Amino acid sequence: MRISDGKSGKVTGVVKAVYKRLKYLPDRMLHRRRHLEARDRLLGLGTVRSILVVCYGNVCRSPYLEAVLGRELPAVNVMSAGLVGPDRPVPAYSLTVAAKRGLDLSAFRSRPLSRANARAFDLVIVMDSAQRSHVARMFGVSSARIVVAGDLDPEQSATRAIADPWGKSLDAFAESFDRLDRCAATISTLIHYSRQRSRQALL
């Protein structure tokens, strides 16, 4: 019988860590440029009156960002939807983290994107580049109106995508929601700036 000395496990862990770091190296290197491009794209939309937030299941990330944006931008119609599964509540950890930040998600139920007229929204926020491609291809939304949420985060993170905390720890939800808070702050600032600029142009 062979007894492991634990060294192989340590080596495997190191290899995985190095692979992960190299895999997402482009995300870190391109973040600054993507951030500026996302800001320019949002400002180029002019007055934003409606926002659609999309994630995979519409139970973790997009409901939270919808709630934050709804609070920060009361004059904007904000809605969220997902790619799968209707009428599901948010997980308990979502309720806990959101409640600590003054948001009540207890009444929320997931909506599939097929129920929303995605093309009617001025701005569509997605959680990763694959979702951006899917929404543009399958729902006919112009790529100019779709922004990857992580690109709006002023802080550089390990990955461009905002990780789905579904089935993970409370800390994972808090980390994901921290990034979404920063994204929401950028969106809110840019929309307020764009509206102020529009008002001044009318004077």
Q: What is the pLDDT of residues 42-91, one digit of tens each?
A: 999 999 999 999 999 999 999 999 999 999 999 999 999 999 989 999 99
User: Is 164 an annotated catalytic residue?
Assistant: yes
Q: pTM of the full predicted structure?
A: 0.87
- What is the C-alpha separation between 91 and 169, in angstroms, rounded? 11
User: Is 60 an annotated catalytic residue?
Assistant: no
Helix (H, G, I), strand (E, B) or coil at 123: strand
Give the phi and the psi of residue 122 in degrees, each rounded to 5: -70, -35
Active site residue: 88, 101, 122, 164, which one? 164
Give the phi and the psi of residue 53 in degrees, each rounded to 5: -105, 130
Active site residue: 34, 39, 41, 55, which one? 55
> CA distances (Å), 68 to each of 22, 152, 198, in order?
33, 15, 24
- What sign has the CA pseudo-torsion 98, 102, 107, 111? negative
Active site residue: 39, 61, 111, 145, which one? 61
**Domains of the chain and any CATH numbers:** 32-202 (3.40.50.2300)
Digit-by-digit pLDDT tens for the chain (203 residues) are 444 456 666 667 665 544 555 666 788 889 999 999 999 999 999 999 999 999 999 999 999 999 999 999 999 999 999 999 899 999 999 999 999 999 999 999 999 998 778 999 999 999 999 999 999 999 999 999 999 999 999 999 999 999 999 999 999 999 999 999 999 999 999 999 998 887 777 76
User: Is 40 an annotated catalytic residue?
Assistant: no
Give the residue from 60, 63, 57, 129 showing the smallest Cα distance to 86: 57
- What is the C-alpha separation between 55 and 112, in angstroms, rounded? 10
Is-contact 53 66, C-beta < 8 A? yes
